[in-house]
Structure 1
Amino acid sequence: MKFIHLTDTHVIAEGRTLYGANPARRLKLAVESINREHGDAAFVVVTGDLTHWGDEEAYEAFSRAIADLHVPLVLMVGNHDDTPAFTARFPQAMRDENGFVQGARQTEEGLCLFLDTRVQGFHYGGYCPARLAWLQAQLEGSTGPVFLFMHHHPFEIGCGHMDDIRMLDHEAFRAVIEPHKDRIRHLFFGHAHRPIFGNWDGISFSCMRGLNHQLGLFLRPENGVVPGNLAEPAYGVVLVQDRNVIVHMHEFALRAPAFDLAPPPGVDSATWALEMKHPGFTDY
């Protein structure tokens, strides 16, 4: 099974830029890339922060930007989203019995659980008793492999500012998933705007870059500054088979010089490597 992990699109009303970039345009480029290169994916999941300010115009712009996607779509919310505005524009989006934007999808490789970690009015995440009860019921009522998707990370990633606004109900969350930990094959999240891969208490995890802007690596924040940059956007191409979960980060709009590593017939490989020129390229 293959699926696409996209996150933190931060779309705003069309005709404007965010930190100097055009999030709607970047989303359209991602859609074109997915259709062209990964049209056989089982689904595309966007793990929250669809918009930057959660306004109606931004959701309209997001809807237009993603309208041409040929792959089934799963939409989640993050701290920059607004649930009423989101559900008004996407009334068919998943909802649980309490109105949270979360749901389940059974696949050939296991159960995918999409969790709503948004807390109204705050940038940190949470997972209240009602949501915990829903998650517990999903886990107890199923067998086989499980894949978890969420916006906020439920553990520290080493970046002070982002750790301050992680999912704060992490201990209660951990207690619910603990009995099922051996079944959880991978945890996918966004929010951090960085490619991060690792293992949390025996559970492998991955985080993708944001689509509009990225977070610079800062393990020790200085003077309250949160460094950002406009590195190339990326999405995750996830391959699940048997006992393997492989996550590729695809920089679909890469502007660095591209070339064939293998020389054409009749050309010496050393000559090919040493004499290759890239117009306009200046090394560091």
Structure 2
Amino acid sequence: MKFIHVTDLHLVEESEILWGLKPIETLDACLADIQKHHADAAFVAITGDLAERGEVAAYELLKQRLSTLGLPVLLMLGNHDDRTNFKQVFSDVPLDHGGFVQQVREDHGGVFLFLDTLKGPPSSAGLYTPERREWLSQQLDKAAGRPVYLFMHHPPFSIAHELMDKIMLDDPEEFAALLQGHDVKHIFFGHGHRAVSGVWRGISFSALPSLNHQLPLVGGSVETVYSHEPPAYAVVHVTGEGIIVHNDAFYDRKAATMPADAERGTWY
């Protein structure tokens, strides 16, 4: 099966510029590219920071854009989001028993769990409270040995980034303990505004650049906290042998300086 991972939209009102960029323009280009090249995807997962300030207008703008995509979209919340305003606009999004934005999708023999790690202001860190952990524990038990894929905004571990490691998930050990004894294959997350991948406690993981601004890997490598680097979405293939994650820098994709017929049919 194939699905799409997108993260950190940071939407503001349609005419507004955020850190020198227009978030809606990048989102429009992203959705158009997905429609053109990946209309056969099973779903699109967007792992939080849907809005920059959690405003109703930003969620309404997102809902309008997603209505024409033609693919199921699974939405999660990040530290820039407002759970009350989000639920007001996306009133049909499934919630867990505590009213948190958590849901389950079963597909291709696997269980896909979409988590709510929003702690709330003034903190930008994540939090996975006992009530939310209870829901996750129940879903892991129901998976009954089937492969599990987790989606969340905040990483539950250090990503070796000085700034972002200060605002990762607050309760990583409690979270990690929940996963023990279950076949968790991969964790997809956002928050870091960078392409990151690796293995944590035997579980592979991947994250993406934001659709708007990025965070430089090394603080001080640019004069500002944020940087302008290419946005990307991920095309994920779940196969019988494993997981393949392609990051596609769609916004910066252009033809190379070469004849259109060069290098065709000469590699094999």
Normalised-by-shorter TM-score class: over 0.9
In 2, the alpha carbon distance for the partners of 1:204 and 1:26 equals 28
How far the C-alpha of 1:178 sits from its partner, in A, is 1.3
Partners of 1:34 and 1:203 lie apart in 2 by 27
Q: CA deviation at 1:232?
A: 2.0
TM superposition shift of 1:265: 8.7
Structure 2 distance, partners of 1:83, 1:8, is 15
Matched-pair contact (CA < 8 Å) for 1:109–1:240? no
Indicate conservation of the 8 Å contact 1:100/1:116, yes or no. yes
Distance 1:124 1:265 in 2: 48
What does residue 97 of structure 2 align with? 97
Q: How do 1:77-156 and structure 2 match up within 5 A?
A: 77-121=77-121, 122-143=123-144, 144-156=146-158
| Distance change in 2, residues 1:100/1:261 (3 Å) | farther
State the TM-score, normalizing by the size of structure 2: 0.92
Q: Where does residue 175 of structure 2 map in the other structure?
A: 173
- Structure 1 residues 61 and 242, CA, compared in 2 at 3 Å: closer, same or farther? same
Q: Counterparts of 1:86 and 1:21 in 2: how far apart (Å)?
A: 23
Contact 1:151 1:190 in 2 (8 A): yes
Please give the secondary structure, in 2, of the residue aligned with 1:81. coil
- SS of equivalent to 1:27: helix
1:189-228 equivalent positions in 2, closer than 5 A:
189-218=189-218, 221=219, 227-228=225-226
Q: Return the alpha-carbon distance in structure 2 between the equivalents of residues 99 and 21 of structure 1.
A: 34
Letter in 1 for 2:92: Q
Alignment of 1:234 with 2:232, yes or no, is yes
- The structural deviation recorded for 1:255 is 5.1
Q: Secondary structure at 1:141's aligned position in 2?
A: helix
Q: TM-score, normalised by structure 1?
A: 0.87
Whole-Å separation in 1 of the counterparts to 2:259 and 2:142: 50
Secondary structure of 1:31's aligned partner? helix
**Which string of whole-angstrom CA distances, capped at 9 and with x for unpartnered residues, describes residues 158-205 of structure 1?**
11110010001110001111121xx11111000000000100010000
Q: What is the 5 A alignment of 1:182-193?
A: 183-193=183-193
What is the root-mean-square deviation in Å for CA atoms of aligned residues?
A: 2.1
Higher Cα Rg, which structure: 1
Count of aligned positions: 262
Larger mean CA deviation between 63-72 and 47-56 belongs to 63-72
CA distance in 1, matches of 2:135, 2:60: 30
Counterpart position of 2:58:
58
Residue 262 of structure 1: how far off its partner (Å): 8.3
Shift of 1:258: 2.6
Change (3 A) 1:226 1:174: farther
Inter-partner Cα distance in structure 1 for 2:81 and 2:107: 27
Partner of 1:73: 73
Q: Deviations over 1:48-103 (max 9, x none)?
A: 00000001111122223333211111111110000010010000112101000001
- The 1:2/1:81 distance shift into structure 2, 3 A limit, reads same
Give structure 1 stretches of 5+ with no counterpart. 270-284
Structure 1 distance, partners of 2:160, 2:69, is: 35
For 1:57, the aligned partner's letter is A
Give the gaps of 5 or more residues in structure 2: none
* Structure 2 counterpart of 1:277: none
Counterpart of 1:123, as a letter, is S
Determine the structure 2 residue equivalent to 1:158: 160
Question: Are the counterparts in 2 of residues 24 and 65 from structure 1 also a CA contact under 8 Å?
Answer: no
Distance 1:110 1:81 in 2: 28
Secondary structure of 2:180 counterpart = helix
**Is the 1:27–1:66 contact (alpha carbons within 8 Å) kept by the matching residues of 2?**
no
Over 3 Å counting, the alpha-carbon distance change for 1:187 and 1:261 in structure 2 is: farther
Alpha-carbon displacement from aligned partner over 1:190-238 (angstroms, at most 9, x marks no partner):
00000001000100000011001111102xx46xx86322222110000
